[in-house]
Amino acid sequence: MRARREVARRVFAKEFNESRYKIGGNAEKEPIYVLTPLGLKCNRLFIIGTLIEKEETRPESEVIRIRIADPTGSFLGFVGKFDPEAKISLMDMKIPSTIAVTAKAKLLERGGKVIPFIRPESINPSDFDTRDYWILETAKATIKRIEMMKGDSEIARLAREKYNPNLEEYREMVISALMRLKEEVKITEEEEEESIEESIEEEILDLNDLF
């Protein structure tokens, strides 16, 4: 019987890049999770952003280093021979291009430093509208985690113990991402485009009510 795959979580690059701790993996076949500063346990991630770097790590290594940007920073990723589907898709991607990525969340410990990175399982072309909704959904998920961190759940206590995060800093991160998105939304005279953009505006206003 095949093991159930972990749900791919949404997280902004800034929160993921500030992750330093792993949990789980103690029992046989128990998944290992990256624990983020806001208490997200992530084994897999779903990201939509802009491919801004694609480069072979060294000649004949068969490993390609990538970076995917979102409104808060960028995700570092590595695609190798053990990720054939992602590698084949990546070959056709140009820089810059909007892509959707499902990936394993990883931490690399080297020289006393911990480096968060992703290992893509699949890479597909995306578009601006889908990216915009990813930003909105990720903002909503982040707001929920900020509120969760004010409580006394086991995961909130663990994240506070490991990171003692500045919740106001993360709240400002979300606001900045939403404001950047709002600035990019162009209202046009075509009805189809207006309906999409008006729905984005409404979502942003709904989120603003939470701050």
- Top pLDDT among 50 and 27 is at 50
Q: Which residue has the tokens 């960028």?
A: 74
- Across the chain, what does the average pLDDT equal? 86
Give residue 88's pLDDT. 87
Q: Which residues contact 33 (CB under 8 A, 6 or more apart)?
A: 22, 23, 24, 41, 42, 43, 105
State the Cα–Cα distance between residues 22 and 61, nearest whole angstrom.
Answer: 28
Residues 34 and 116: beta-carbon distance below 8 Å:
yes
pLDDT digits (tens, 9 = 90+) for 101-139: 999 999 998 888 999 999 999 999 999 999 999 999 999
pLDDT digits (tens, 9 = 90+) for 151-203: 999 999 999 999 999 999 999 999 999 998 888 765 333 444 444 445 445 54
Q: Among 100, 76, 72, 49, which residue's Cα sits nearest to residue 180?
A: 72
List the chain domain ranges: 8-127, 132-208
- Top pLDDT among 111 and 11 is at 11
State the angle between helix axes of 191-208 and 167-184 in degrees (0 to 180), rounded to the nearest 10: 160
Give residue 206's pLDDT. 54
Q: In this structure, which topology does domain 8-127 adopt according to CATH?
A: OB fold (Dihydrolipoamide Acetyltransferase, E2P) (2.40.50)
pTM of the entire predicted model: 0.86
What is the band of 207 on the pLDDT scale with cuts at 50, 70, 90?
Answer: low
Strand order in the sheet with 32-35: 21-24, 32-35, 41-42
State the Cα–Cα distance between residues 57 and 78, nearest whole angstrom.
Answer: 9
What DSSP state is assigned to residue 93?
-
Q: Which residues contact 51 (CB under 8 A, 6 or more apart)?
A: 66, 67, 68, 93, 94, 95, 96, 97, 98, 99
